[in-house]
Amino acid sequence: MSSPTPPAGPPDPGAWTPPSGWSPEQPPAWPTQPVAPGGSAGQPPSPGQPLPPGYGQAPPPGYGQAPPGYGQVPPGYGQVPPGYGQPGQQPWGQQAPWAPPPPAPKPGIVPLRPLGVGELLDGALSLIRSNPRTVLGLAAVISAVSALLQTVGLWFSLQFLEVAEPVAGSEVDVTAELTSLVSGGIAQVVPALVAGFLQVLASGLFIILVGAAVLGRRLDAGQTWASLRPRMLPLVGVTLLIGLGSILAVTLMVGVIVALAFAIGTWAVLPGLLIGVGGGIALVYVYVRLSVASPAVVMEGVGVVTSLTRSWALVRRSWWRVLGILILSAIITSLLTTVVTVPITLIATLASGFSESLVPTVLASGIATLVAGIITLPFSAAVTGLLYIDLRMRREALDIELVSAGVQPSPDPLAAYRTPRP
């Protein structure tokens, strides 16, 4: 009977070859404890049995050593990135906070977005600063003609009234007095009508300049008149229609109140008061709804009726805001007029005290009309034009069309305002 074969010991560390892909320093799969004959892994051999070869010897050379480069810090580890801590740089490793949207483009006197009240009023003043030669030049010419006509009319009116004044102790010629009174009234009314037409002309010219200035374009007097000339007749028609409608409405209210007074006597006070207050509120409401009809005629090139419907639709749901802006504009215009006219009138009054002539009073009236018109005509027309543009930007996204017009300019300065409406 053959003797049993002794158990094989652990492999020779010196003859061990690492498998393909292993590091040369990788230690062999060395068992933690030998396996004894008849035993299991993890248990030492039984007493009296011989120890297997290599049992208890030291591990092979390099066993447990770290591979080359183990534990070294990679290059640049812990260094601060370039630009860290400088102004305008976000902290390293932190998420950038929310940033506001970029500002709206502003090629001209106002930014191309819905405007605030302050921006709208400042834009009206910026029209004068952006193109003072054309704006002040047109305002001076129109105001000079208007002031001259009104001064001449006032002069003749005063002369006719002086002739019509009866002299003590003389016979009264009723026909001559009536003729003088009528002539004095005509001398006042005709220049006033012409001055009103000139104001309509001025408003159209300055609306053209506003539409161009919003896009950063500067027009001269010839270009401005060439753009307005095809729209002048509809502009006058819109102004006359609104004015005559207001006069007719007031006349109708007064007629109804007078008829009630004749019909029921003193009891007509209460219904007359209700009619007057209600009619006044209705007139203000309609006037505000139609306040941007003139810019619609000039900028869009539409007819009289279409411009009225356009204004009525644009002001819808913005009535109180439009009313506030119109009142604020009227207050500013009145303050500017007062600042100009009060010193001139005071000087004329002092001069009239030392002379019985009417020349100082007439000249003072003409100078006050001239200076006040140069300042107030561009401002009031610019407020109306910018109010129309603001309403269209709010309701029809006109600002997008204006931005596109700035990228691809057209020979027509108002082409962007005549785009198809949604």
Which residue shows structure tokens 């006058």?
236
286 pLDDT more than 90? yes
Contacts of 67-76 with CB under 8 Å at 24 or more apart are 67/23, 67/25, 68/25
Question: Mean pLDDT: which of 192-196, 377-381, 410-414 is highest?
Answer: 377-381
In the structure, what pLDDT confidence band is assigned to residue 167 with cuts at 50, 70 and 90? very low
Question: Residues 6 or more apart from 296 whose CB is under 8 A from it?
Answer: 302, 306, 307, 310, 311, 314, 388
In 10 A of CB 153, how many CB atoms?
A: 21
Q: What is the C-alpha to C-alpha distance for residues 292 and 355, in angstroms, rounded to an integer?
A: 47
CA 59 to chain centroid = 85
Instruction: Work out the mean pLDDT of the chain and round it to a whole number.
Output: 78
Domain chopping of the chain, boundaries: 117-418
Mean pLDDT of the region 392-398:
91
pTM score > 0.75 for this model?
Answer: no
233 pLDDT exceeds 90? yes
Average pLDDT over residues 191-198: 82
Measure the CA–CA gap between 326 and 116, rounded to whole angstroms.
Answer: 14
For residue 327, give every residue at least 6 positions away whose Cβ sits within 8 Å of its Cβ, in sequence order, or none. Answer: none
- The Cα–Cα gap between 315 and 286 comes to 10
Q: How far apart are CA 132 and CA 138, in angstroms?
A: 10
Model confidence at 120: pLDDT above 90: yes
pLDDT at 312 over 80: yes
Q: What is the pLDDT of residues 263-285, one digit of tens each?
A: 887 887 888 889 989 999 999 99
pLDDT bin (cut points 50, 70, 90) of residue 99 is low
Tokens matching residue 69 = 């480069």
User: Distance from first CA to last CA of the chain, Å, rounded?
Assistant: 112
Question: 171: which 2 tokens?
Answer: 């016979």
